[in-house]
Structure 1
């Protein structure tokens, strides 16, 4: 996305009185205020470690019920270290992961290019692999990756029984199970189990602090003490041993305090929003109902027309609906991801239907 388009969208969103999808971007002053509220601003910061970073690691390990957690500046780095650990401990550099997974599409296959590992595909279906597919792998693997939810398949989750079966299958073939849990926070309601129970199925779990919790950056890799010791060494080798990371750590703590308790409510309301959107002329949502507070929406207009209509609605009527539309393989049909967060809780089904109709009307007028 061009930078000027991104900035125009963020400015339009921030100027809106009502927001359906996502959160208006916060100013740096607002972010600083959240950080100050999340910790003792008179305490010393971290110096390569300690301070709020250590406090955050301990809190996340407690939330997920793991022996330890290690803070990373990026999830890409954390996941590389998790997969490298699996290769070193099992002696097998082969990783089973989905072609729609974050490691392939959004990390530019760093596990292969940087860490020298090799990927195999347990499935190409738009969902996470099943236990049967894990057992049917044609060759041994050191680690199996499951992404919760699989974002680029439409934020889809396995059921709890399917996930526990996958964990058992990994044990049966002698492979580690790594959970890409960047969005684990919103996965728990659908799975019907606690973070501790979910992470307890895996050998390692990565979590993000900015995707749902509205932090400014950062991630954590959780698991055994041995994994944590290994992760700290490789974090340094990958260039992630940053002198001070207290702003990211405090922003993450603020998200755990303020956003995490509200996530189940976001997930529940996403089903109301999705049902209302599905009733718009020519619309389709997936999954139906959503598995998390995020889902996909298709409308029968080109992406450019919908983006222009959304910006016009925001700038003229001060209402943000949804942006980031992408054209699909079906001519004249575009798709956007919808995220129901705090501002979206104010919308009733009738609100969604009424504003959705206005967006579609505008898109028809903007259609090239």
Structure 2
């Protein structure tokens, strides 16, 4: 599943666009690099867009953002502080901040979420005495981490359900083999950023406890779940024994993640972090960007979620009014500020239509498309962030109409 930064998520082939200026650097005659450079240039020049992923920015812009963060009225950081060395200073401050936000005893900063998750599951396997993890087949652990839980940590997975939705309590109770850890991705990204209802989540956790299992939340995007659940971060995290969160997905950071939980678990995780090569000499840029994201983006996420529902409804109505043979906005009412769009055209056509729309109108509506199923049926992920708040439903409709007009032109050309 392509993400909103023009690539695939970490781990399963390919990377994400770094935002470097390949137009200036040249493409060396490589058509793939040329196409990527064209996309980046078109997106970057767009005056109207639903989101501006930091991975599509230029280096100078990111440096300016960090400098601005140092001069902001943030309570946790300032330019007069020293850089960190092996996790002290600003990194330790970030760990304290995350632990407090999630209501956990402690937290540890990790350079990647993949490392944080593998170590969390490894630690729980040692404590529960079983290497079996109950996890959804569409979860990040299964789809985007190259089987790290198996090949690196020696664990084994049992599927919670084969349905493209979060598991139910009954399914957890009925699993036909013991498991030590239940890993729940909130939201379940590759199923459409889906979340259970609050009572359903509580029941699933209780079912795992009945099976004598611990519960780990893959909360890379947990920050934006509060609106759907109607609960604060601390109350959500309290259901789990450990929680992983990301700093670069919803918070617009540079990189990095945190694992939060009991002090003893976090201490053990830090020891394994060193063994896994995650004891990085200096990480102050990533920590600074994460703290800035907690100050700037975290309070805004509920407004993004609310506006995502406006954008999703406008898109659904625009596709119907335009007479598209088949389309799907999934879920119809987004659970977070991200959702899927499905259209009955080749991904290459939709990619080209999106780039032409950006080049010709300086409006970016959709980014990359993929065909995970039958050829000619493509999907993309839509992220609604701060720039989207300026869009009315009519603006979305107009952009969708302009996009579809270019799709039809391309289909005639291919004709």
2:26 aligns with none
2:86 aligns with 48
2:329 aligns with 285
Please give the alpha-carbon distance, in whole angstroms, between the structure 2 residues aligned to 1:293 and 1:227.
Answer: 32
Please give the alpha-carbon distance, in whole angstroms, between the structure 2 residues aligned to 1:145 and 1:59.
Answer: 24
Tell me, yes or no, if the aligned pair for 1:21 and 1:322 is still in contact at 8 Å: no
Give 1:35's match in structure 2, choosing from 66, 77, 93.
66
Alignment of 1:1-368 (within 5 A): 2-23=32-53, 25-36=56-67, 37-38=69-70, 39-279=77-317, 280=319, 281=322, 282=324, 283-367=327-411, 368=414
SS of the residue 1:326 aligns to: coil
Deviations 1:218-266 (A, max 9, x none): 0000000011100100000000000000110001011111111110000
Moved more, 60-69 or 30-39: 30-39
Tell me, yes or no, if the aligned pair for 1:148 and 1:184 is still in contact at 8 Å: yes
1:29 CA drift (Å): 2.5
Structure 2: segments with no counterpart, 5+ residues: 1-6, 8-31, 71-76
SS of the residue 1:57 aligns to: helix
SS of the residue 1:41 aligns to: coil
1:328 CA drift (Å): 5.0
SS of the residue 1:327 aligns to: coil
1:315 CA drift (Å): 1.2
1:122 CA drift (Å): 1.6
Please give the alpha-carbon distance, in whole angstroms, between the structure 2 residues aligned to 1:331 and 1:230.
Answer: 47
Please give the alpha-carbon distance, in whole angstroms, between the structure 1 residues aligned to 2:335 and 2:391.
Answer: 19
Please give the alpha-carbon distance, in whole angstroms, between the structure 2 residues aligned to 1:289 and 1:43.
Answer: 44
Tell me, yes or no, if the aligned pair for 2:308 and 2:334 is still in contact at 8 Å: yes
Deviations 1:24-81 (A, max 9, x none): 6332222223323243222111110211100100000010000001000000000001
Deviations 1:275-301 (A, max 9, x none): 000012323201010101100112232
1:136 CA drift (Å): 1.0
User: TM-score if structure 1 supplies the norm length?
Assistant: 0.97
Tell me, yes or no, if the aligned pair for 2:51 and 2:386 is still in contact at 8 Å: no
Please give the alpha-carbon distance, in whole angstroms, between the structure 1 residues aligned to 2:104 and 2:187.
Answer: 20
1:130 CA drift (Å): 1.3
Please give the alpha-carbon distance, in whole angstroms, between the structure 1 residues aligned to 2:36 and 2:209.
Answer: 45
Tell me, yes or no, if the aligned pair for 1:73 and 1:218 is still in contact at 8 Å: yes
Tell me, yes or no, if the aligned pair for 1:22 and 1:340 is still in contact at 8 Å: no
SS of the residue 2:304 aligns to: helix
Please give the alpha-carbon distance, in whole angstroms, between the structure 2 residues aligned to 1:168 and 1:277.
Answer: 38
Structure 1: segments with no counterpart, 5+ residues: none
Tell me, yes or no, if the aligned pair for 1:23 and 1:341 is still in contact at 8 Å: no
Tell me, yes or no, if the aligned pair for 1:23 and 1:342 is still in contact at 8 Å: no
Tell me, yes or no, if the aligned pair for 1:96 and 1:120 is still in contact at 8 Å: yes
Moved more, 130-139 or 60-69: 130-139
Tell me, yes or no, if the aligned pair for 2:224 and 2:302 is still in contact at 8 Å: yes
Please give the alpha-carbon distance, in whole angstroms, between the structure 1 residues aligned to 2:402 and 2:257.
Answer: 39
Please give the alpha-carbon distance, in whole angstroms, between the structure 2 residues aligned to 1:5 and 1:164.
Answer: 46
Please give the alpha-carbon distance, in whole angstroms, between the structure 1 residues aligned to 2:407 and 2:101.
Answer: 44
1:306 CA drift (Å): 1.0
Please give the alpha-carbon distance, in whole angstroms, between the structure 2 residues aligned to 1:183 and 1:3.
Answer: 30
User: TM-score if structure 2 supplies the norm length?
Assistant: 0.86
Tell me, yes or no, if the aligned pair for 2:353 and 2:403 is still in contact at 8 Å: yes
